[in-house]
Structure 1
Protein backbone atom coordinates (compact mmCIF):
# COMPACT_ATOMS: atom_id res chain seq x y z
CA UNK A 1 0.00 0.00 0.00
CA UNK A 2 1.60 3.31 -1.07
CA UNK A 3 1.89 6.04 1.52
CA UNK A 4 0.68 9.41 0.30
CA UNK A 5 3.08 12.10 1.49
CA UNK A 6 1.08 15.14 0.44
CA UNK A 7 -2.67 15.07 0.01
CA UNK A 8 -4.29 18.18 -1.44
CA UNK A 9 -7.59 19.02 0.21
CA UNK A 10 -10.43 19.23 -0.57
CA UNK A 11 -10.43 16.50 -3.17
CA UNK A 12 -14.09 16.89 -4.18
CA UNK A 13 -14.79 20.46 -5.27
CA UNK A 14 -18.53 20.28 -5.92
CA UNK A 15 -19.60 17.35 -3.78
CA UNK A 16 -21.33 18.95 -0.81
CA UNK A 17 -24.82 18.99 0.66
CA UNK A 18 -26.85 22.06 -0.22
CA UNK A 19 -28.74 23.65 2.67
CA UNK A 20 -32.54 23.51 2.45
CA UNK A 21 -33.02 27.27 2.94
CA UNK A 22 -31.12 28.13 -0.23
CA UNK A 23 -33.25 29.69 -2.96
CA UNK A 24 -30.83 29.29 -5.89
CA UNK A 25 -29.12 25.91 -5.91
CA UNK A 26 -26.99 26.77 -8.94
CA UNK A 27 -25.61 29.88 -7.28
CA UNK A 28 -24.90 27.91 -4.07
CA UNK A 29 -23.06 25.15 -5.97
CA UNK A 30 -21.03 27.76 -7.87
CA UNK A 31 -20.01 29.53 -4.65
CA UNK A 32 -19.11 26.22 -2.95
CA UNK A 33 -17.03 25.11 -5.96
CA UNK A 34 -15.20 28.43 -6.12
CA UNK A 35 -14.43 28.31 -2.40
CA UNK A 36 -13.12 24.74 -2.63
CA UNK A 37 -10.96 25.63 -5.64
CA UNK A 38 -9.42 28.49 -3.63
CA UNK A 39 -8.79 26.07 -0.77
CA UNK A 40 -7.14 23.59 -3.17
CA UNK A 41 -4.88 26.33 -4.49
CA UNK A 42 -3.91 27.24 -0.93
CA UNK A 43 -3.13 23.61 -0.11
CA UNK A 44 -1.17 23.26 -3.36
CA UNK A 45 0.88 26.40 -2.67
CA UNK A 46 1.65 25.17 0.85
CA UNK A 47 2.93 21.80 -0.41
CA UNK A 48 4.80 23.49 -3.28
CA UNK A 49 6.64 25.64 -0.74
CA UNK A 50 7.44 22.51 1.26
CA UNK A 51 8.75 20.67 -1.83
CA UNK A 52 10.92 23.57 -2.98
CA UNK A 53 12.18 24.04 0.58
CA UNK A 54 13.35 20.41 0.70
CA UNK A 55 14.98 20.79 -2.72
CA UNK A 56 16.76 23.92 -1.49
CA UNK A 57 18.13 22.13 1.58
CA UNK A 58 19.28 19.13 -0.46
CA UNK A 59 20.86 21.36 -3.11
CA UNK A 60 22.72 23.29 -0.39
CA UNK A 61 24.06 20.08 1.16
CA UNK A 62 25.11 18.83 -2.29
CA UNK A 63 26.87 22.12 -3.04
CA UNK A 64 28.81 21.90 0.24
CA UNK A 65 29.95 18.36 -0.59
CA UNK A 66 31.00 19.39 -4.11
CA UNK A 67 33.00 22.35 -2.77
CA UNK A 68 34.70 20.14 -0.18
CA UNK A 69 35.56 17.58 -2.85
CA UNK A 70 36.92 20.32 -5.13
CA UNK A 71 39.17 21.65 -2.36
CA UNK A 72 40.53 18.15 -1.70
CA UNK A 73 41.21 17.63 -5.42
CA UNK A 74 43.05 20.98 -5.60
CA UNK A 75 45.23 20.12 -2.60
CA UNK A 76 45.98 16.70 -4.05
CA UNK A 77 46.87 18.24 -7.43
CA UNK A 78 49.29 20.69 -5.82
CA UNK A 79 50.86 17.90 -3.79
CA UNK A 80 51.26 15.66 -6.83
CA UNK A 81 52.89 18.39 -8.90
CA UNK A 82 55.48 18.98 -6.16
CA UNK A 83 56.58 15.33 -6.08
CA UNK A 84 59.70 14.42 -8.03
CA UNK A 85 60.44 10.68 -8.27
CA UNK A 86 64.04 11.36 -9.31
CA UNK A 87 64.89 13.30 -6.18
CA UNK A 88 62.71 11.63 -3.56
CA UNK A 89 63.08 7.90 -3.24
CA UNK A 90 60.62 6.03 -1.07
CA UNK A 91 61.96 2.89 0.54
CA UNK A 92 60.00 -0.34 0.72
CA UNK A 93 60.04 -0.21 4.52
CA UNK A 94 58.50 3.25 4.52
CA UNK A 95 55.73 2.02 2.22
CA UNK A 96 54.91 -0.96 4.42
CA UNK A 97 54.96 1.02 7.67
CA UNK A 98 52.75 3.79 6.32
CA UNK A 99 49.22 3.72 7.65
CA UNK A 100 46.48 2.89 5.20
CA UNK A 101 43.93 5.50 4.23
CA UNK A 102 40.80 5.51 6.33
CA UNK A 103 37.75 7.55 5.53
CA UNK A 104 36.23 9.65 8.30
CA UNK A 105 32.69 9.49 6.97
CA UNK A 106 30.05 9.07 9.66
CA UNK A 107 27.25 6.61 9.15
CA UNK A 108 23.69 7.85 9.41
CA UNK A 109 21.75 6.39 12.31
CA UNK A 110 18.20 6.55 13.64
CA UNK A 111 16.74 7.47 10.26
CA UNK A 112 13.19 6.45 11.07
CA UNK A 113 12.60 8.39 14.25
CA UNK A 114 9.53 10.56 14.62
CA UNK A 115 11.36 13.91 14.12
CA UNK A 116 12.84 12.61 10.86
CA UNK A 117 9.40 12.39 9.25
CA UNK A 118 8.55 15.04 6.66
CA UNK A 119 6.22 17.75 7.82
CA UNK A 120 3.25 16.51 5.72
CA UNK A 121 3.53 13.06 7.28
CA UNK A 122 3.79 14.58 10.75
CA UNK A 123 0.63 16.60 10.07
CA UNK A 124 -1.11 13.44 8.89
CA UNK A 125 0.04 11.58 11.99
CA UNK A 126 -1.30 14.32 14.25
CA UNK A 127 -4.70 14.21 12.59
CA UNK A 128 -5.00 10.42 13.00
CA UNK A 129 -7.09 8.95 15.78
CA UNK A 130 -5.12 7.53 18.73
CA UNK A 131 -5.19 3.75 19.31
CA UNK A 132 -7.77 2.39 21.75
CA UNK A 133 -6.68 2.12 25.40
CA UNK A 134 -6.00 -1.60 25.26
CA UNK A 135 -3.16 -1.35 27.76
CA UNK A 136 -5.80 -1.21 30.48
CA UNK A 137 -6.35 -4.92 29.78
CA UNK A 138 -2.67 -5.84 30.22
CA UNK A 139 -3.13 -6.43 33.95
CA UNK A 140 -5.57 -9.25 33.20
CA UNK A 141 -3.14 -11.17 30.96
CA UNK A 142 -1.23 -14.15 32.36
CA UNK A 143 1.65 -14.08 29.85
CA UNK A 144 2.84 -10.59 30.85
CA UNK A 145 2.52 -9.18 27.33
CA UNK A 146 1.14 -5.76 26.53
CA UNK A 147 -2.37 -5.92 25.13
CA UNK A 148 -1.82 -2.89 22.90
CA UNK A 149 0.94 -4.68 20.94
CA UNK A 150 -1.66 -7.11 19.58
CA UNK A 151 -3.37 -4.10 18.00
CA UNK A 152 -0.31 -2.05 16.99
CA UNK A 153 3.39 -2.63 17.63
CA UNK A 154 5.86 0.01 16.30
CA UNK A 155 8.82 -2.12 17.40
CA UNK A 156 7.69 -5.20 15.44
CA UNK A 157 9.98 -4.69 12.46
CA UNK A 158 12.94 -3.83 14.70
CA UNK A 159 12.46 -7.01 16.72
CA UNK A 160 12.13 -9.00 13.50
CA UNK A 161 15.37 -7.47 12.19
CA UNK A 162 17.13 -8.13 15.51
CA UNK A 163 16.14 -11.80 15.47
CA UNK A 164 17.38 -12.10 11.89
CA UNK A 165 20.74 -10.52 12.79
CA UNK A 166 21.15 -12.76 15.85
CA UNK A 167 20.34 -15.85 13.80
CA UNK A 168 22.87 -14.83 11.14
CA UNK A 169 25.49 -14.31 13.85
CA UNK A 170 24.79 -17.77 15.28
CA UNK A 171 25.08 -19.33 11.81
CA UNK A 172 28.42 -17.59 11.24
CA UNK A 173 29.72 -18.83 14.61
CA UNK A 174 28.65 -22.38 13.75
CA UNK A 175 30.47 -22.22 10.43
CA UNK A 176 33.59 -20.92 12.16
CA UNK A 177 33.44 -23.74 14.70
CA UNK A 178 33.09 -26.28 11.89
CA UNK A 179 36.10 -24.85 10.08
CA UNK A 180 38.06 -24.75 13.35
CA UNK A 181 37.23 -28.37 14.19
CA UNK A 182 38.07 -29.41 10.64
CA UNK A 183 41.38 -27.60 10.87
CA UNK A 184 42.18 -29.28 14.17
CA UNK A 185 41.35 -32.70 12.77
CA UNK A 186 43.48 -32.02 9.70
CA UNK A 187 46.34 -30.87 11.92
CA UNK A 188 46.05 -34.02 14.03
CA UNK A 189 46.11 -36.18 10.90
CA UNK A 190 49.18 -34.32 9.62
CA UNK A 191 50.92 -34.66 13.00
CA UNK A 192 50.10 -38.37 13.06
CA UNK A 193 51.56 -38.79 9.57
CA UNK A 194 54.69 -36.89 10.57
CA UNK A 195 55.04 -39.07 13.65
CA UNK A 196 54.68 -42.20 11.54
CA UNK A 197 57.33 -40.91 9.15
CA UNK A 198 59.65 -40.16 12.06
CA UNK A 199 59.03 -43.62 13.51
CA UNK A 200 59.70 -45.19 10.15
CA UNK A 201 62.92 -43.23 9.81
CA UNK A 202 63.90 -44.26 13.33
CA UNK A 203 63.29 -47.90 12.49
CA UNK A 204 65.35 -47.58 9.33
CA UNK A 205 68.22 -45.98 11.27
CA UNK A 206 68.00 -48.64 13.96
CA UNK A 207 68.08 -51.37 11.33
CA UNK A 208 71.09 -49.80 9.64
CA UNK A 209 72.91 -49.46 12.97
CA UNK A 210 72.13 -53.05 13.92
CA UNK A 211 73.43 -54.31 10.58
CA UNK A 212 76.55 -52.19 10.92
CA UNK A 213 77.21 -53.47 14.45
CA UNK A 214 76.73 -57.03 13.25
CA UNK A 215 79.22 -56.49 10.42
CA UNK A 216 81.75 -54.91 12.77
CA UNK A 217 81.34 -57.75 15.26
CA UNK A 218 81.85 -60.32 12.51
CA UNK A 219 85.00 -58.52 11.32
CA UNK A 220 86.39 -58.40 14.84
CA UNK A 221 85.77 -62.15 15.28
CA UNK A 222 87.60 -62.87 12.05
CA UNK A 223 90.59 -60.82 13.15
CA UNK A 224 90.78 -62.57 16.54
CA UNK A 225 90.60 -66.00 14.93
CA UNK A 226 93.52 -65.18 12.63
CA UNK A 227 95.53 -63.96 15.58
CA UNK A 228 94.89 -67.14 17.53
CA UNK A 229 96.04 -69.33 14.62
CA UNK A 230 99.30 -67.45 14.36
CA UNK A 231 99.96 -67.82 18.08
CA UNK A 232 99.39 -71.59 17.94
CA UNK A 233 101.62 -71.91 14.92
CA UNK A 234 104.50 -70.26 16.72
Structure 2
Protein backbone atom coordinates (compact mmCIF):
# COMPACT_ATOMS: atom_id res chain seq x y z
CA UNK A 1 0.00 0.00 0.00
CA UNK A 2 1.36 3.38 -0.96
CA UNK A 3 1.00 6.71 0.77
CA UNK A 4 -1.76 8.70 -0.91
CA UNK A 5 -0.07 12.08 -1.09
CA UNK A 6 -1.91 12.86 -4.34
CA UNK A 7 -5.33 12.14 -2.78
CA UNK A 8 -7.47 14.80 -1.16
CA UNK A 9 -7.06 14.52 2.60
CA UNK A 10 -10.27 13.18 4.22
CA UNK A 11 -10.06 15.83 6.97
CA UNK A 12 -8.76 19.00 5.28
CA UNK A 13 -9.26 21.16 8.37
CA UNK A 14 -6.55 19.18 10.17
CA UNK A 15 -4.46 17.58 7.45
CA UNK A 16 -0.90 16.33 7.91
CA UNK A 17 1.64 15.50 5.23
CA UNK A 18 1.91 11.83 6.25
CA UNK A 19 -1.15 9.58 6.13
CA UNK A 20 -2.23 6.27 4.63
CA UNK A 21 -5.55 5.80 2.87
CA UNK A 22 -7.16 2.46 3.79
CA UNK A 23 -9.83 2.79 1.14
CA UNK A 24 -10.11 0.22 -1.60
CA UNK A 25 -10.60 -3.54 -1.46
CA UNK A 26 -11.41 -5.12 1.91
CA UNK A 27 -12.52 -8.61 2.83
CA UNK A 28 -16.22 -8.61 3.67
CA UNK A 29 -18.98 -10.83 5.00
CA UNK A 30 -22.52 -10.64 6.34
CA UNK A 31 -23.33 -11.92 9.83
CA UNK A 32 -27.08 -12.46 9.56
CA UNK A 33 -27.15 -14.92 12.49
CA UNK A 34 -24.97 -12.73 14.75
CA UNK A 35 -22.43 -15.48 15.38
CA UNK A 36 -19.27 -13.58 14.46
CA UNK A 37 -18.28 -12.46 17.93
CA UNK A 38 -18.87 -15.89 19.47
CA UNK A 39 -16.78 -17.45 16.70
CA UNK A 40 -14.09 -14.75 17.04
CA UNK A 41 -14.16 -13.56 13.44
CA UNK A 42 -11.82 -10.76 14.47
CA UNK A 43 -9.08 -13.41 14.66
CA UNK A 44 -9.97 -15.25 11.43
CA UNK A 45 -9.50 -14.78 7.70
CA UNK A 46 -11.47 -17.69 6.26
CA UNK A 47 -14.92 -16.20 6.95
CA UNK A 48 -14.30 -13.13 4.79
CA UNK A 49 -15.41 -14.78 1.57
CA UNK A 50 -16.38 -11.62 -0.31
CA UNK A 51 -14.72 -8.31 -1.14
CA UNK A 52 -16.06 -4.77 -0.92
CA UNK A 53 -14.79 -1.40 -2.10
CA UNK A 54 -14.45 0.89 0.93
CA UNK A 55 -15.81 3.43 1.73
CA UNK A 56 -18.95 2.52 -0.23
CA UNK A 57 -21.71 0.75 1.76
CA UNK A 58 -22.81 -2.71 0.61
CA UNK A 59 -26.18 -1.34 -0.54
CA UNK A 60 -24.35 0.79 -3.12
CA UNK A 61 -23.41 -0.59 -6.53
CA UNK A 62 -20.08 1.27 -6.19
CA UNK A 63 -19.14 -1.11 -3.36
CA UNK A 64 -19.13 -3.99 -5.81
CA UNK A 65 -22.00 -5.65 -3.93
CA UNK A 66 -25.19 -3.61 -4.35
CA UNK A 67 -27.34 -5.73 -2.02
CA UNK A 68 -30.22 -3.70 -0.53
CA UNK A 69 -31.76 -6.55 1.48
CA UNK A 70 -31.77 -6.59 5.29
CA UNK A 71 -28.27 -7.42 6.58
CA UNK A 72 -28.00 -5.76 10.01
CA UNK A 73 -24.46 -6.94 10.85
CA UNK A 74 -21.46 -6.69 8.54
CA UNK A 75 -17.75 -7.41 9.00
CA UNK A 76 -14.70 -6.02 7.19
CA UNK A 77 -11.06 -7.11 7.13
CA UNK A 78 -7.87 -5.85 5.52
CA UNK A 79 -4.13 -5.83 6.11
CA UNK A 80 -1.59 -3.04 5.96
CA UNK A 81 2.11 -2.43 6.51
CA UNK A 82 3.48 0.37 8.68
CA UNK A 83 6.07 2.41 6.74
CA UNK A 84 9.55 2.50 8.28
CA UNK A 85 9.42 6.29 8.63
CA UNK A 86 6.50 5.94 11.08
CA UNK A 87 8.55 3.88 13.55
CA UNK A 88 9.07 6.66 16.12
CA UNK A 89 5.49 7.97 15.94
CA UNK A 90 2.14 7.14 17.48
CA UNK A 91 -0.21 5.64 14.89
CA UNK A 92 -3.85 6.70 14.78
CA UNK A 93 -6.64 4.87 12.98
CA UNK A 94 -9.36 7.29 11.84
CA UNK A 95 -12.88 6.24 10.85
CA UNK A 96 -14.82 8.99 9.10
CA UNK A 97 -18.20 7.34 9.74
CA UNK A 98 -19.53 3.80 10.18
CA UNK A 99 -23.27 3.20 10.43
CA UNK A 100 -24.26 2.50 13.20
CA UNK A 101 -22.62 0.66 16.14
CA UNK A 102 -18.99 -0.24 15.54
CA UNK A 103 -16.22 -2.35 17.01
CA UNK A 104 -12.67 -2.23 15.67
CA UNK A 105 -9.88 -4.74 16.25
CA UNK A 106 -6.23 -4.49 15.22
CA UNK A 107 -4.24 -7.72 15.33
CA UNK A 108 -7.08 -9.32 17.29
CA UNK A 109 -7.12 -6.62 19.99
CA UNK A 110 -10.18 -4.42 20.50
CA UNK A 111 -9.13 -0.79 19.95
CA UNK A 112 -12.42 1.10 19.52
CA UNK A 113 -16.14 0.89 20.28
CA UNK A 114 -18.35 3.61 18.82
CA UNK A 115 -22.04 4.35 18.49
CA UNK A 116 -23.36 6.81 15.92
CA UNK A 117 -23.54 6.45 12.17
CA UNK A 118 -22.68 10.04 11.23
CA UNK A 119 -19.80 10.90 13.56
CA UNK A 120 -16.05 10.23 13.18
CA UNK A 121 -13.90 8.43 15.74
CA UNK A 122 -10.22 7.69 16.24
CA UNK A 123 -8.18 4.97 17.93
CA UNK A 124 -4.51 5.06 18.91
CA UNK A 125 -3.36 1.62 17.75
CA UNK A 126 0.35 1.98 18.57
CA UNK A 127 0.35 -0.46 21.49
CA UNK A 128 -1.19 -3.34 19.51
CA UNK A 129 1.03 -3.14 16.42
CA UNK A 130 3.34 -6.03 15.62
CA UNK A 131 7.06 -5.15 15.55
CA UNK A 132 7.17 -5.73 11.80
CA UNK A 133 5.29 -7.24 8.90
CA UNK A 134 1.59 -7.44 8.20
CA UNK A 135 -0.98 -5.76 10.46
CA UNK A 136 -4.66 -6.75 10.42
CA UNK A 137 -7.66 -4.49 11.02
CA UNK A 138 -11.18 -5.91 11.42
CA UNK A 139 -14.35 -3.83 11.72
CA UNK A 140 -17.78 -5.05 12.82
CA UNK A 141 -20.77 -2.78 12.19
CA UNK A 142 -24.34 -3.29 13.38
CA UNK A 143 -27.23 -1.27 11.95
CA UNK A 144 -30.65 -2.58 12.95
CA UNK A 145 -33.09 -1.54 10.20
CA UNK A 146 -36.24 -2.12 12.28
CA UNK A 147 -35.09 -0.12 15.32
CA UNK A 148 -37.07 3.09 14.89
CA UNK A 149 -35.46 4.65 17.98
CA UNK A 150 -32.09 4.70 16.20
CA UNK A 151 -31.20 7.94 14.37
CA UNK A 152 -31.57 7.17 10.67
CA UNK A 153 -32.13 10.38 8.70
CA UNK A 154 -34.18 9.28 5.69
CA UNK A 155 -32.98 5.67 5.65
CA UNK A 156 -35.95 3.38 5.17
CA UNK A 157 -36.92 0.73 7.74
CA UNK A 158 -38.93 -1.14 5.10
CA UNK A 159 -37.30 -3.53 2.66
CA UNK A 160 -37.86 -1.21 -0.30
CA UNK A 161 -37.90 2.62 -0.32
CA UNK A 162 -41.30 4.27 -0.03
CA UNK A 163 -42.44 7.90 -0.32
CA UNK A 164 -39.52 10.13 0.80
CA UNK A 165 -37.37 7.32 2.27
CA UNK A 166 -34.39 5.72 0.56
CA UNK A 167 -32.27 2.59 0.88
CA UNK A 168 -30.27 2.02 4.03
CA UNK A 169 -26.56 2.75 4.45
CA UNK A 170 -24.91 0.00 6.50
CA UNK A 171 -21.34 -0.08 7.76
CA UNK A 172 -18.41 1.97 6.45
CA UNK A 173 -19.48 4.92 4.31
CA UNK A 174 -16.74 7.49 4.97
CA UNK A 175 -12.93 7.27 4.59
CA UNK A 176 -10.75 5.10 6.81
CA UNK A 177 -7.13 6.19 7.15
CA UNK A 178 -3.96 5.93 9.24
CA UNK A 179 -2.01 8.89 10.54
CA UNK A 180 1.36 9.00 12.34
CA UNK A 181 1.65 11.68 15.02
CA UNK A 182 4.07 12.76 17.72
CA UNK A 183 3.33 11.89 21.34
CA UNK A 184 2.23 15.51 21.74
CA UNK A 185 -0.06 16.53 18.91
CA UNK A 186 -3.08 18.62 18.00
CA UNK A 187 -6.34 16.67 18.01
CA UNK A 188 -8.82 19.40 17.10
CA UNK A 189 -8.92 23.00 15.90
CA UNK A 190 -12.05 25.13 16.10
CA UNK A 191 -12.34 28.76 15.09
CA UNK A 192 -15.16 31.29 15.15
CA UNK A 193 -14.90 34.47 13.05
CA UNK A 194 -16.41 37.77 14.17
CA UNK A 195 -16.65 39.81 10.98
CA UNK A 196 -18.05 42.90 12.69
CA UNK A 197 -15.11 43.10 15.10
CA UNK A 198 -12.51 41.73 12.71
CA UNK A 199 -11.64 38.97 15.18
CA UNK A 200 -10.98 35.26 14.94
CA UNK A 201 -11.36 33.14 18.08
CA UNK A 202 -9.54 29.82 18.08
CA UNK A 203 -9.64 26.77 20.34
CA UNK A 204 -6.91 24.14 19.97
CA UNK A 205 -7.17 20.73 21.66
CA UNK A 206 -4.00 18.77 22.40
CA UNK A 207 -2.99 15.24 23.27
CA UNK A 208 0.11 15.51 25.43
CA UNK A 209 1.94 13.91 28.30
CA UNK A 210 1.53 15.35 31.79
CA UNK A 211 3.73 18.35 32.65
CA UNK A 212 4.72 18.79 29.01
CA UNK A 213 5.33 22.37 27.94
CA UNK A 214 3.99 23.21 24.49
CA UNK A 215 4.37 26.29 22.30
CA UNK A 216 1.97 26.82 19.41
CA UNK A 217 2.46 29.25 16.55
CA UNK A 218 -0.59 30.39 14.59
CA UNK A 219 -0.19 32.14 11.24
CA UNK A 220 -3.06 33.84 9.42
CA UNK A 221 -2.75 34.28 5.69
CA UNK A 222 -4.85 35.77 2.93
CA UNK A 223 -5.65 33.41 0.06
CA UNK A 224 -2.99 30.99 1.26
CA UNK A 225 -0.13 33.53 0.98
The structure that is strand-richer by fraction is 2
Question: Is the shorter-chain TM-score for this pair beyond 0.5, marking a shared fold?
Answer: no
The structure that is helix-richer by fraction is 1
> Which is greater in Rg?
1
Interval containing the TM-score (normalised by the shorter chain): under 0.3
TM-score (norm 1): 0.17
TM-score (norm 2): 0.17
Greater length-normalized contact order (CA 8 Å, ≥ 6 residues apart): 2
